[in-house]
Amino acid sequence: MRLQVKGRGIEVSESVRKYAEGKFKRLERQLDDPEIELELHVEANPKIADDHTADAAIRSRRLTLRAHSSARAFEAAIDGLVDKLERQAVKSRERRQRKPAHKTPPKVAAPAPEPE
């Protein structure tokens, strides 16, 4: 797992980095060698209560997942983000498993000749 944490207009603390790394480890079970790009920023509008936002893009071998989450703190925003991404990954995996492989049509057996 490769995790890149970026802050847009802010400095990301080491505690938030470690928290994000711990939370994104949950996704390693669902995805093959994920490359995660996490972007954190604070909204400047004082009327927005959930001003800490987190955006993530995950690139894996088979798919790309994206999600956005807002909360009052970065930790809560990361929690919501990981939950959304995990749901997407599980849904994608189930969709892949449900889809049957290309099957040839069953052969119709010729009726056996009746003995006279």
Alpha-carbon span 30 to 19, nearest angstrom: 19
For the segment 76-87, what is each residue's pLDDT rounded down to a tens digit?
999 999 999 999
Find the domain containing 44 and state its range. 2-98
Please report, as a single letter, which amino acid is at residue 23.
K
Instruction: Tell me, yes or no, whether 79 lies in a domain.
Output: yes
Total count of domains within the chain: 1
Instruction: Tell me, yes or no, whether 115 lies in a domain.
Output: no
For the question of whether the overall pTM of this predicted structure is more than 0.95, the answer is no
For the segment 63-112, what is each residue's pLDDT rounded down to a tens digit?
899 999 999 999 999 999 999 999 999 998 888 777 666 666 666 666 77
Instruction: Tell me, yes or no, whether 17 lies in a domain.
Output: yes
Instruction: Tell me, yes or no, whether 48 lies in a domain.
Output: yes
Q: Tell me how crowded residue 81 is: count the other CB atoms within 10 A of its CB.
A: 24
Instruction: Tell me, yes or no, whether 91 lies in a domain.
Output: yes
Instruction: Tell me, yes or no, whether 108 lies in a domain.
Output: no
Instruction: Tell me, yes or no, whether 15 lies in a domain.
Output: yes
Instruction: Tell me, yes or no, whether 111 lies in a domain.
Output: no
For the segment 52-62, what is each residue's pLDDT rounded down to a tens digit?
999 999 998 88
Residue 64 sits in a domain whose CATH number is: 3.30.160.100
